[in-house]
A and B are shown apart, each in its own frame.
Chain A
Amino acid sequence: MMPFIPVLLWSDILLWLLVAVCIAGAVMARRSEHILTSWRRIAGSANGMAALTVLAAFFLIGLLDSVHYRPRLAQQTGVSISAANYGVEVLSLLDALAAPLKNNSEKTYSAPLATRLFSKETIEEAVVGTDGGTAAGTDARIVRDYPRLIYGGAHLGADTAGAGQDMLVTGLIGAALGLAVWLVMAWLLRAMLPDGRGRKSVLATLAVLLLIFAPLLALSTHYHVFGTDKVGQDVFYLTLKSIRTGLLIGTLTTLIMLPAAVLLGILAGYAGGWIDDVVQYLYTTLNSIPGVLLIAAAVLMMQVVIDTHPQWFATAAERADARLLALCAILGMTSWTGLARLLRGEALKLRELEYVQAALAFGVPRLAIMLRHILPNVMHIVLIAVVMDFSGLVLAEAVLSYVGIGVDPSTISFGTMINAARLELAREPVVWWSLTAAFAFMFALVLAANLFADVVRDAFDPRTRMSP
């Protein structure tokens, strides 16, 4: 009997499929000199490689969070051995790795690295020096103070005076470990990457990342490095979990939108005539409806469908996942128009080029012309659009969740964190840490994606490419 059963969420399947496609694409690209030259330009760019390193770190976390399973519950006496019970809660590899973060929930808000709660509460304090065994109620004193956290700095015991020193030591140990990891990675990368600005920049970025995160990780075993939220959940854990949601929205939406955009765009541009009219009519209509309104309507309808069919989903996680996918699909439906318009224009131009005319003179079928002559020559636009759209979609999720039409409330995402921060900012004193943590992570992700998109565009856009 297995200690767990794997759970395959739809979004996991799609995400891993995407990874497989990317690997297959890389293998194919190795054979094409054109694409390889462009990627070499990216590999030689300091900005691009730094952004790629940051993105890779995000993707690593996201992928760890995309291997799901249900653990077997501990055997209870009186229950037959043969029928093993598995928990209804779906966990991921990241949950397992970050188990202390996930499980060490406090009662409510606590500031980053605090050992006590954020607000005063009425607590009973046992009076020291009385005999044990007598009625506690009579010997307890009622005081109003900041209660001691259950997990934050628990190893220090009641005396929290040494907390600062302990944090410094733990942090330094973490930094030292980070340095060690960096040395190993640097040695590995030396063999993998060619010498140049690209590799230097990867190493520098890695050093910065490790110097920030190794101490954080070391500290997070004993403290809540980013504090806790209203129900006492560790904010660091929440931000880590948000990464997957952001990545999914950014990548799956593009994946859903791409076939429509590429097919319709090229078809409209190449075929012309009534096909062009229909496609143009379609995207002009879609574009003229306010995007948020359309998305809100679709999300609300989809929510009703999901809520009225509870039998479709075995666990809450599956239901939340369905809602996430539906959101991706809805965002995809409304965002293909821009790329389709670009591709239509490009196909219109390519259609008149002489190599297409030459193919026509050979009687090559139209479909083959589109596949052999048009598609490969617009792929750079597709790639650039995909990378550019990614950051926009991550931000869109945050906005939609903020207005309450985004992901399922049980799904942890930057949007839901920011949404929760609405009330926190209204408190006095202000609870600033969840918003800050969400903001910092999202900022890093979007900035890295944007920088990378710029570099990709420079490398693949024939207008900026120098003649070989």
Chain B
Amino acid sequence: MSEMLAVTDLAVTIQTPRGLARPVDGVSFSIAAGEVFALLGESGCGKSMTALSLLRLLPEAGSIAGGSVRFAGRELLAMSEQEMREVRGGGMAMIFQEPATSLNPVMTVGAQIAEVLGVKGEAARLLGVELLDSVGIPDAGRRLDEYPFQLSGGMKQRVMIAMALAGEPKLLIADEPTTALDVTIQAQVLDLLDDLRKSRGMALLLISHDLGVVAEMADRIGVMYAGQLVEVAPRDAFFSSARHPYSKKLFAALPDMSRRTSLLETIAGSVPAPTNIFKGCRFADRCGFAKSVCGSQAPPWVVAGEGHSVRCHFPDAENIAVQQLEEIRQPVSSHAPLLETRELKLHFPIRKGIFKRTVGHVRAVDGVTLALAQGRTLALVGESGCGKTTVAKAILQLLRSSSGSVMLSGQELTTLSNSGLKPWRGAMQMIFQDPYASLNPRLRVGEIIAEGMRTLLPGGADKQKIATLLASVGLDADMAGRYPHEFSGGQRQRIAIARALAVEPRLLICDEPTSALDVSVQAQILNLLRDLQQRLGLAYLFITHNIAVVDFLAHEVAVMYLGRIVEQGTVDEVLRNPQHPYTLALVAAVPSIVATEGKDKAPPLSGDMPSSSHPPTGCHFHPRCPRAMDVCRREYPKASQLSATRRVHCQLFL
């Protein structure tokens, strides 16, 4: 195979107020034509910086300190800016994580593509249609005249890919191309990238933190840690026998079915700051198996197999904590439901005109019936925009429902006044998705935790209680005097959990509590949640789009589509044997790290979720459903009880 890109000893430095940072420190790898090379690692490991330095698009304070980047036989680092401009786009192109901010909102799609193409008029239009066709955008001619806000997230990412393809690049750099997208859309985009690579013989540098995505896409994998590659391996070798302790720990931190009865492996500490000066192995502090040589001597590259090398002193050691974890007993569950919602509806009126006349409704939640018992976890899954968070807010009475009922321990909440709700506030609490937005930056941790206690508990807040709470989520008591900005994302999420626990709730609603966190930190939080459930008998309503987390944590699952539950049942029923076509597609769309060759996968769902202000007639899912029938277009299917615990809304089972 000819080497298209060869990077040797690439080093990047950035001037920061805290000294010289080395986000990329001696990275070497190569990519052959038509190959997919994946850079894998947690945030802050230097993956994106590596990609940007290949294009020489570093931030102003950054500079390439050394090494060489040879692309198609030419040294990029020696090129003039003029020559470099031809390489960008024509030789290499890049797509970014956030499609929403990568497109100019005031230019039509066609104009933006024409800008990249550098041609005008009819020629630009023809080429534009061709490009949009090639990335699978239906009705390309019309889409060219639309503005970015008229496109969905997946559509925007396709447009971004089309723009990247405009210069017919030989290498496409995709920086977390699907992280901001839903799983079903992610599957579409990954499929597209794979097709394009095959049809154009393009090489792909894929940057991702998601082992599943990497497993589906990559030919070879490079694991990055603290600015260095620590392991490079072909996919099969990597997923069957990763050698570096960091890689192994990443695998062990992944939640899935097989780890239901145990705790997840976590990596203590966090990625060291790029301003650190390293002496020995960069992972030594967090390794757990470090010996004295690891602290004093940088490990050499060790060849571990065909094309497989690892930077570790002890690559052959069985250096992973093999399930030394205690067996976890299943919590006793009573069957009287703690939380019950019946036909819960929440419609937001759409008002227009000077008199604010109601012209329609956004049916964010349209008849949701759920039941959750003490000590159990119910996972609510679905794509973004399907109304999961609105359900949570309606249960907490942060938003008042339009109709239906919410019962907590047999008490109807929807009819209570704000003051009548007060005694029930403590019984249900919520943990939010973004740990950076969920803590008031102007308050100390102690004050944040005390807020609920002061309002809801008769005893108020005292130092002793706060210290106990902090200890129970694995933080030190003296952290109460510090401000949120001094903490990492995982620590902040622990503080948010402590705040919720402070008022002794029985029901905890977790709204994607780990989706903003790295895998190893996610594992810590999931372990903590599991542990708290054991000790305190909490019930969780766990809102997520991550099926693996559901598999690990939940007892029951409810799948939501466009404001309604389409299928619900126990985890085993729903995830092992999905019945509703939507559940089927959702489960199939999750990239898996188990060998995928030959597995018959359902094709990814086409299209996007419709808007909840104009839901399709009949079954909401019929426009995307591969098995849609005539009756589906006419009427919404009633529930069919498939077993004692399982209900599906689909005409197929009526």
**Which residues of A are at the interface with B, using a C-beta cutoff of 8 A?**
32-34, 353-355, 357-364, 372-373, 376-377, 466-468
Complex Cα–Cα for A252 and B421 (A): 45
1/0 per position for B582-594, CB-CB distance to A under 8 A? 0000000000000
Which of B257-265, B440-448, B465-473, B626-634 sits within the interface? B440-448
Q: Does B429 contact A (CB under 8 A)?
A: yes
Which residues of chain B (413-446) have a CB below 8 Å from chain A?
418, 421-422, 425, 428-430, 432-434, 437-443
| A377 & B455 in contact (Cβ 8 Å cutoff) | no
Do A33 and B483 touch (CB < 8 A)?
yes
Q: For B432, give its contact among A33, A354, A373, A467 (CB under 8 Å).
A: A354
Q: What residues of chain B lie closer than 8 Å to A359, measured between beta carbons?
A: 451
- CB of B390, distance to nearest CB on chain A (Å): 12
Please name all residues of chain B whose beta carbon is closer than 8 Å to the beta carbon of A364 when the two chains form the complex.
451-452, 455
Least CB separation from A379: chain B residue? B442
The B interface, classified by DSSP as helix, strand, loop or mixed, is: mixed
- Report the bound CA distance from A372 to B447 in whole Å: 10
Scoring A355, A364, A377 by chain B CB atoms within 10 A of each residue's CB, the highest score goes to: A355
Q: Check B455 against A362 for contact (C-beta < 8 Å).
A: yes
Is the C-beta of B485 less than 8 angstroms from some C-beta in chain A?
yes
B503 within 8 A of A: yes
Bound form: Cα–Cα A454–B485 in Å: 25
* Most A-side CB within 10 Å, residue of B396, B430, B451: B451
Contacting pair B441 A377 (CB below 8 A): yes
CA distance A315 to B108 in the complex (A): 70
11 contacts between A and B (CB under 8 A): A33-B483, A34-B442, A353-B438, A354-B433, A354-B437, A355-B437, A358-B430, A361-B425, A361-B429, A372-B451, A377-B440
- CB pair A358–B441 under 8 Å, yes or no, is no
Task: Tell me the nearest residue of chain A to B448, going by C-beta.
Answer: A355
Q: Which chain B residues (65-94) contact chain A, with CB distance < 8 Å?
A: none
In the complex, A32 Cα to B442 Cα: how many Å? 9
Task: Give the nearest-CB partner of B424 in chain A.
Answer: A363
Chain B residues whose CB sits within 8 angstroms of the CB of A360 once the complex forms: 398
B432 A358 Cβ-Cβ under 8 A: yes
Which residues in B have their C-beta under 8 angstroms from that of A355?
Answer: 437-440, 448
Residue in A closest to B453 when the chains form the complex, CB atoms: A362
User: Which 10 pairs between the two chains have the least Cβ-Cβ distance?
Assistant: A354-B438, A354-B432, A362-B452, A376-B442, A363-B425, A355-B440, A354-B437, A363-B422, A353-B437, A362-B455
Residues of B within 8 A of A361 (CB): 396, 398, 425, 428-430
* Residue contact A372 to B433, C-beta cutoff 8 Å: no
Question: What residue in chain B is nearest A356 (Cβ atoms)?
Answer: B440
How far in angstroms is the closest Cβ of chain A from B449? 11
Chain B residues contacting A468 (CB-CB under 8 Å) are 485-486
State A201–B441 Cα separation when bound (angstroms): 32
> Is A363 touching B421 in the complex (CB atoms < 8 A)?
yes
Residues from chain B with a CB closer than 8 A to the CB of A33 are: 483
Q: Quick check: is B17 within 8 A (CB to CB) of the other chain?
A: yes
Residues of B within 8 A of A (CB): 17, 393, 396, 398, 418, 421-422, 425, 428-430, 432-434, 437-443, 448, 451-452, 455-456, 483, 485-486, 496, 499-500, 503
Do the beta carbons of B456 and A362 come within 8 Å of each other? yes
Decide: A358 near B418, CB < 8 A? Known: A363-B425, A363-B456, A376-B442. Answer: no
Complex contacts, A372 vs chain B, CB 8 Å: 440, 443, 451
CA gap between A364 and B398 in the complex, in Å: 12
Which A residue's beta carbon lies closest to that of B509?
A361
- Please determine whether B496 and A34 come into contact, CB atoms closer than 8 angstroms: no
Residue of B nearest to A360 (CB): B398
**B contact residues around A466 at 8 Å (CB):** 17
Q: Chain A residues with Cβ under 8 A from B432's Cβ?
A: 354, 357-358
New A-B pairs, 19, CB < 8 Å, besides A357-B430, A358-B500, A361-B396: A32-B442, A354-B432, A355-B440, A355-B448, A357-B398, A357-B438, A359-B451, A361-B429, A361-B430, A362-B425, A362-B452, A362-B503, A363-B455, A364-B451, A364-B455, A372-B440, A372-B451, A376-B442, A466-B17
CB distance from A284 to the nearest CB of B (A): 14
A353 and B433 CA atoms in complex are apart in Å by 11
Which residues does chain A contribute within 8 Å of B422, judged by CB atoms?
363
Q: Which residues of A contact B396 (CB under 8 A)?
A: 361
Q: How far is the CA of A82 from the CA of B152 in the complex (A)?
A: 90
Residues of B within 8 A of A376 (CB): 440, 442-443
Q: How far is the CA of A372 from the CA of B443 in the complex (A)?
A: 8
Bound-state Cα–Cα, A357 to B485, Å: 19
Q: What is the CA–CA distance of A260 and B373 in the complex, to the nearest angstrom? A: 50
Chain B residues with Cβ below 8 Å from A357 are: 393, 398, 430, 432, 438
Name the residue on A nearest B356 (C-beta).
Answer: A277
Q: Roughly how many angstroms separate A364 CA and B448 CA in the complex, as a whole number?
A: 12
A33 to B422, CA, bound (A): 34
Residue contact B499 to A358, C-beta cutoff 8 Å? yes
Nearest chain B CB to A358's CB is how many angstroms away?
A: 6
Q: In the complex the two chains form, what is the Cα distance from A333 to B483 in whole Å?
A: 37
B447: shortest Cβ distance to chain A, in Å? 9
Report B117 CB to chain A, min CB distance, Å.
35
Q: What is the CA–CA distance of A357 and B392 in the complex, to the nearest angstrom?
A: 12
Point out the residues of chain B lying under 8 angstroms from A34, CB to CB: 441-442, 483
A359 to B443 CA separation, bound complex (whole angstroms): 13
Cα–Cα, bound, A34→B441 (Å):
9
Q: How far is the CB of B467 from chain A (nearest CB, A)?
A: 20
> Which residues of A are found within 8 Å of B393, using beta-carbon distances?
357
Decide: A358 and B496 in contact? CB cutoff 8 A.
yes
Residues of B contacting A362 with CB < 8 Å? 425, 429, 451-452, 455-456, 503
| A358 contacts B438, C-beta separation under 8 Å | yes
A353-B437, A355-B437, A361-B425 given; A377·B452 CB < 8 A = no
Q: Within 8 Å CB of B485, what residues of A?
A: 467-468
Contacts of A373 in B (CB 8 A): 440
Contacting residues, chain A, for B456 (C-beta < 8 A): 362-363
Closest-CB distance, A150 to chain B (whole angstroms): 62
Cα of A354 to Cα of B509 in the assembled complex, Å: 13
Q: Chain A's nearest CB lies how many Å from the CB of B118?
A: 34
With A and B bound together, what is the CA distance between A273 and B311 in angstroms? 61
CA distance A171 to B430 in the complex (A): 73
Chain B contacts for A32, CB-based, 8 A:
442
A467 vs B484: C-alpha distance when bound (angstroms): 12
State the Cβ distance, B396 to closest chain A Cβ, in Å.
5
A466 and B421 CA atoms in complex are apart in Å by: 42
Closest to B433 in A: A354
Q: Which residues of A contact B448 (CB under 8 A)?
A: 355
User: Shortest beta-carbon distance, B494 to chain A, in Å?
Assistant: 14
- A373–B452 CA distance with the chains assembled, in angstroms: 13
Q: Which residue of A lies closest to B18 (CB)?
A: A466
**A362-B425, A362-B452 known; A377-B430 Cβ under 8 A:** no
Using A34-B441, A357-B398, A377-B441 as known contacts, say yes or no to A363 and B418 having CB atoms under 8 A apart. yes
Nearest CB of chain B from residue A35's CB, rounded to whole Å: 9
Nearest-neighbor residue (CB-CB) of B443 within chain A? A372
When the two chains form their complex, are residues B451 and A354 in contact, meaning their CB atoms are under 8 A apart?
no
> How far does the Cβ of B388 sit from chain A's closest Cβ, in whole Å?
15
Report the bound CA distance from A373 to B440 in whole Å: 7
Q: Across the interface, which residues of A come within 8 angstroms of B428, CB to CB?
A: 361
Q: Please give the distance in Å from B534's CB to the nearest CB on chain A.
A: 24
**Closest Cβ of chain B: how far from A290's Cβ, in Å?**
26
Chain A residues contacting B17 (CB-CB under 8 Å) are 466
Query: Which chain A residue shows the least CB distance to B444?
Result: A33
Q: In whole Å, how far is B514's beta carbon from the nearest beta carbon of chain A?
A: 15
In this complex, which of A360, A372, A377 has the most chain B Cβ atoms within 10 angstroms of its Cβ? A360
- How many angstroms from the CA of A372 to the CA of B455 in the assembled complex? 13
Residue among A354, A373, A468 with most chain B CB within 10 A: A354
Instruction: Give, as a whole number of angstroms, the nearest-CB distance from A291 to chain B.
Output: 28
Which of B428, B434, B483 gathers the greatest number of chain A CB atoms within 10 Å? B483
Q: Which residue of B is nearest A374, CB measured?
A: B440
Q: How close is A381's CB to chain B, nearest CB, in angstroms?
A: 13
Q: Bound state CA distance, A376 and B486, in angstroms?
A: 18
Find chain A residues with CB under 8 A from B500 CB: 358
Q: Please indicate the chain A residues that have their CB under 8 angstroms from the CB of B443 in the complex.
A: 372, 376
